[in-house]
Structure 1
Amino acid sequence: MKHVIFAVAGLALLSTAACKVNYDKTKSGLPYKVVSSKGGQSVVPGQIVKFNVEFKLSPKDSILNTTYGKFPGYTPVDTGKNTEYTFIELFPLLKVGDSVEFTMSIDTLKNRGMIPDYDSIFTRNGQIKGKLSILGAFATQDLAKNDMDKEMEREKAREIASIEDYLNKKGIKAQRTRNGAFVEITTPGDPNLKADSGKLAMVMYRGYLQDGGTVFDTNMDTSKGHTDPIPVVVGTRRVIQGWDEALPYFSKGSKGKIYVPSTLGYGMRGAGQDIPANANLIFDIEVVDVKDAPPAQPQQQGGNPFGNLSPEQMKQLQEQMQQQRQQQQGAQPQQAAPEQKK
């Protein structure tokens, strides 16, 4: 998890040789080069800056994280000590419309305590490439929020279009829910026992990424350590929104798939190491039973990544949130903690 957080937070590097050509350095020694300047307004402390950023691990230039073509980052402009040797330190040196390449040494990160130790990702003498583009700067939180809302709608449209393209290429016929999840029913089940809002549905599931097929959790086999159906009181916001909208299309005995855009799943924060930010998800679903929900029916806690968490999962989530708060205090963008619907 620490690897993901550090990557998202912007520990980006270029090659040492490239740093010797037309590169300036920040006060902390971060090498950078402005590659495009539009002559826009200067970025000043106190503003909220909108940006795209990308990080590639050298020498193969494999992408660690990118916001290009996705939801952009927003963060306050800060000149505090905690921004030293991060891309946040570059903001006051740039204008809206600027793009910049920057580098950081993994050895320097290790010496500064910004990574815990060398490993298979952060290797001794290693380097990561970074690219940053300044898209806008806002004087108030309200102005930034208005812009974020517009970007969220654009991101939602991109995600839904991606799912529609996926379905069309595979010739899959699916129904769209109110806000853009898609439901494919392969076995209809009992129409008299619908998993309507307020009903208790017992669900078997297998969840994986749309773009890679990696299974991040399941109770359909023993690979994730739990095989009991999970109880879901439909429509009570105890699960991700995509599930709440899709489950009423199922009945007792129904089988099918749910295609969930990121905005109805785990969004820009992702969930743990297995669900990255802005990831569309697919779930194989079987509803094994539907019945009336008892008053104040509690959610099952063991092994359920969609509602209540086990004590071990809660501890992990708390650690992630604490790391994010520390990063935000250092003007680092947050992207790595899961957001649960409870």
Structure 2
Amino acid sequence: MKKIIITLALPFCVFVVNAQTKAKNTSPKKTTTTAKAPAKSNSTTLVFKSTLDSASYAFGNTMASSMKNDGLNSLNYDLLIKGLKDAFGGATPLISKEKSQAAINNLFVSVSRQKNAPTIAEGKAFLEKNKQQAGVQVTPSGLQYQVINRGTGIRPKATDTVLVNYRGTLLNGKQFDSSYDRKEPLSLPLNGVIAGWTEGVQLMQTGSKYKFFIPYNLAYGERAMGDDIPAYSTLIFEIELLKVNGKQAE
């Protein structure tokens, strides 16, 4: 299985453009004469006269299809065309590059939150109920944990490298990663993993085994991790802290 937790995919957004052409079709009119009348239509037939024409339409159609798959169903087409013309014509942009990127990111985050609302609600409901369970503790950040076995060794700092065994599951119990199954503990820097791990493992002493319930904002946030972890997932990890910077529990 993949070592999911040690790779933090950075959020990114590709700026794409969308152009739509709508054709209005009418059915051919019926005639009472015996001669067949040619079908009439008020639709406008597009004619691609050059490679540029074909490519222009392909750009709009392909990019719009990609955005639609991500949950975006429409744009302000007038402003879209304005942006295209300004860029190709060398006009000064109406908003800065930084604001442009922020606007695009914010739009896709908003669309993603709407698309994944059921997953967000499921995680929130689970954590609200779970914190009432015996032995479950909650940190100010919202991280929840349960002590399975408390060790007696040293506690790591965020800048330390630790050796751990772990198992990760979704709320439905589906396992997405396990060092136990690989029969190989994992060594990793605590400042190079998800926030829930960085915070949680620092609570442990070497020799400890904890169970962590990590809200999506302390896990992978709005990002999906391949086919294993959907976006906005609340995650459950069992973590066994074996060593800190090579120092084993006494």
> TM-score of the superposition, structure 2-length normalised?
0.53
Letter in 2 for 1:175: Q
User: For the residues of structure 2 that align with 1:142 and 1:193, how far apart are their CA atoms?
Assistant: 42
- Residue 60 of structure 2 is matched in structure 1 by 80
Q: Mapping of 1:273-284 within 5 angstroms?
A: 273-284=227-238
- Residue 289 of structure 1 is matched in structure 2 by 243
2:131–2:138 CA contact under 8 A, matched in 1: no
User: For the residues of structure 2 that align with 1:159 and 1:152, how far apart are their CA atoms?
Assistant: 16
- 1:203 matched to 2:164: yes
Q: 1:193 aligns with which of 147, 151, 154?
A: 154
User: For the residues of structure 2 that align with 1:258 and 1:280, how far apart are their CA atoms?
Assistant: 10
Matched residue of 1:175: which SS? strand
Change (3 A) 1:249 1:163: farther
Q: Higher helix share goes to which structure?
A: 2
Matched residue of 1:243: which SS? helix
Aligned residue pairs, count: 167
Q: Mind listing any 5+ residue stretches in structure 1 that lack a counterpart?
A: 1-24, 30-78, 95-138, 294-342
Greater Cα radius of gyration, structure 1 or 2:
2
- Residue 144 of structure 2 is matched in structure 1 by 182
C-alpha offsets along residues 251-276 of structure 1, whole Å, 9 cap, x if unaligned?
11101211111222122221111111
2:210–2:238 CA contact under 8 A, matched in 1: yes
Q: Mapping of 1:1-342 within 5 angstroms?
A: 27=22, 80-83=60-63, 88=68, 91-92=74-75, 141-142=101-102, 161-168=124-131, 171-190=133-152, 192-210=153-171, 212-221=172-181, 226-234=182-190, 236=191, 238-291=192-245
Aligned-residue offset at 1:287: 1.1
Matched residue of 1:216: which SS? strand
Change (3 A) 1:84 1:150: closer
1:209–1:275 CA contact under 8 A, matched in 2: yes
Aligned-residue offset at 1:175: 2.9
Matched residue of 1:288: which SS? strand
Matched residue of 2:222: which SS? helix
Matched residue of 1:287: which SS? strand
Higher relative contact order (CA 8 A, sep 6+): 2
2:165–2:179 CA contact under 8 A, matched in 1: yes
CA RMSD of the aligned region, Å? 4.1
Aligned-residue offset at 1:163: 4.3
C-alpha offsets along residues 98-147 of structure 1, whole Å, 9 cap, x if unaligned?
xxxxxxxxxxxxxxxxxxxxxxxxxxxxxxxxxxxxxxxxx955556678
User: For the residues of structure 2 that align with 1:201 and 1:209, how far apart are their CA atoms?
Assistant: 24
Letter in 1 for 2:168: G
Q: Percent identity?
A: 27
Change (3 A) 1:228 1:291: same
Matched residue of 2:127: which SS? helix
Change (3 A) 1:80 1:204: same
> TM-score of the superposition, structure 1-length normalised?
0.40
2:109–2:222 CA contact under 8 A, matched in 1: no
Change (3 A) 1:201 1:159: farther
User: For the residues of structure 2 that align with 1:261 and 1:207, how far apart are their CA atoms?
Assistant: 13
